[in-house]
Amino acid sequence: MNAGDLIGTAIANTFRSRARTTLTVLAIFVGAFTLTLTSGLGTGINRYIDDTVAGIGAADVMTVTKTGDASADPTDTGPREYDPNSVLTGNGPAQSSVTLMTDADIQAIGEVDGILEVEPVKSVQLDYVQHEDGTPYVATLGALVAGQSVQLAAGAEPDDDSAELQVTIPVSFVEPLGFADADAAIGQPLTLALTDGAFAQHGVEVTIVGVAEEALAAASGTGLVANHALEDDLYQLQSTGLPADQLDRWTQATAWFDEDLTTTQIDQLKERLADAGFGGTTTADQLGAFTTVIDTIVLVLNVFAAIALLAAAFGIVNTLLMSVQERTREIGLMKAMGMGSGRVFALFSTEAVFIGFLGSAIGVVVAMIVGTAASTFLGSALLSDLPGLTIVAFDPLTVALTILLIMAVAFLAGTLPAARAARKDPVEALRYE
């Protein structure tokens, strides 16, 4: 019996007891369905997290601030002593003191062991944005750092190598500014107004090059993103008329470190920054708790899938053991006609693998249909405020590995019955009643 005949015989034997095989396949189906759906959930959410991380910053980027008065009691709600070099951020219990940084501080950060490069974050306060003679709207403005990106609904990200003053606007601004849709806003002029240090208001005309989707990491839907040319121009314009002692002051800086650093090494880098009087926050810090919760949920769901697969494995053992018992005389006849123990083992193992394939394939297909439908429904209803989120996404490689994993589990479950069949003595098997 060649390999083709062996596989064909194994498949045919699988359906000799259809009721028993069907129940075993259903048990495998439950495990495969659950495992595929939970892995799809993890894939979809992690993809969204990756996009969100890209919107916050690269993995090798750290936001650095100068710590305020370390002696201050954070529980003290009374008035604080005035410090001309300190500003308050946040509200209520979340309010904290951040000391403004100077050129000397930027240089000190760059000298910390492990910091490859550091740049101050230029803060620009816009009064409003306006398209032609339309209604002015309040907006905030920032710029991208290396490794950071924007989820776009149309157009492109601002080009930091271009001398043209470019900006992306949030998708929530498209209709209020008077554009028919996101594509219609691309290439259109936009006026940014800001007030300088002498309380004179200026209007700067820029070009809209992109429309950004709302993202989980966005603080609000009012954030514009500028290229470096625009950011520099606005910062210089805003600084006009400021006293010399108020120029070149920043609340935070962006620092780069080696992307190959381990978590322990990054923690050590933070400690060195703390010793120098600075605090560092990475992208992982900002989303760490969120990703931990998601990973824990997916892990728990996968445990339930594993339990279902374990139950299915016992079903395979039971099905094949009964099959071996029922086909004892047949096994004796096959061995008497020259089929070796290895072939007998392979025959029953192939039956187990085929049962595993049936259950896993059906479970995976149904899970993909249900997951896609659920994702579409949730994306247009409950999760409509999170554009770009596909709650359940399926990776072809992961799906294929799921099927192979379940087939491997089925093979292992079938080894005991297959080995028992292979060990049967042909003479005794032929005498079996």
Are the CB atoms for 398 and 43 separated by under 8 Å? yes
**What's the pTM?**
0.55
- Residue written as token pair 């010399």: 244
* Residue 251 confidence class, pLDDT cut points 50, 70, 90: confident
Instruction: Give residue-wise pLDDT tens across range 139-159.
Output: 988 887 666 677 788 999 899
Which sign does the torsion angle of CA 18, 24, 30, 36 carry?
A: negative
Q: What is the mean pLDDT of residues 357-371?
A: 91
Query: Range with the lowest mean pLDDT among 19-28, 265-274, 364-373?
Result: 19-28
- On the question of pLDDT at 406 being above 70, the answer is yes
- On the question of pLDDT at 367 being above 80, the answer is yes
Domain ranges of the chain: 3-54+289-431, 122-249
DSSP calls for 108-142: HHHTSTTEEEEEEPPP---SEEESTTS--B--EEE
Are the CB atoms for 168 and 210 separated by under 8 Å? yes
Kindly state the percentage of the chain with pLDDT values over 90: 25
147/369: higher pLDDT = 369
- In Å, how far are 2, 16, 154 from 126, measured between CA atoms? 78, 77, 24
- On the question of pLDDT at 369 being above 50, the answer is yes
* Residue 390 confidence class, pLDDT cut points 50, 70, 90: confident
- On the question of pLDDT at 180 being above 60, the answer is yes
- On the question of pLDDT at 299 being above 60, the answer is yes
- On the question of pLDDT at 73 being above 60, the answer is no
Per-residue confidence (pLDDT) for residue 91, from 0 to 100:
44
52/352: higher pLDDT = 352
Per-residue confidence (pLDDT) for residue 355, from 0 to 100:
87
Q: In the beta sheet, which residues pair with residue 166?
A: 207
51/156: higher pLDDT = 156
Per-residue confidence (pLDDT) for residue 338, from 0 to 100:
76
409/131: higher pLDDT = 131
Q: What is the mean pLDDT of residues 74-90?
A: 54
Query: Range with the lowest mean pLDDT among 180-189, 307-316, 346-355?
Result: 307-316
Per-residue confidence (pLDDT) for residue 96, from 0 to 100:
54
48/213: higher pLDDT = 213
* Residue 207 confidence class, pLDDT cut points 50, 70, 90: very high
CA gap 147, 170 in Å, rounded: 20
Per-residue confidence (pLDDT) for residue 243, from 0 to 100:
81
- In Å, how far are 7, 22, 57, 323 from 10, measured between CA atoms? 5, 16, 55, 12
300/152: higher pLDDT = 152
Per-residue confidence (pLDDT) for residue 110, from 0 to 100:
92
Per-residue confidence (pLDDT) for residue 218, from 0 to 100:
47
- How is residue 223 written in tokens? 């954030």
- On the question of pLDDT at 92 being above 50, the answer is no
CA gap 224, 191 in Å, rounded: 12
Q: Tell me the average pLDDT of the chain.
A: 80
Read off φ and ψ for residue 87, nearest 5 degrees. Answer: -130, 150
* Residue 192 confidence class, pLDDT cut points 50, 70, 90: very high
Q: What is the mean pLDDT of residues 321-348?
A: 76
Q: What is the mean pLDDT of residues 101-116?
A: 91
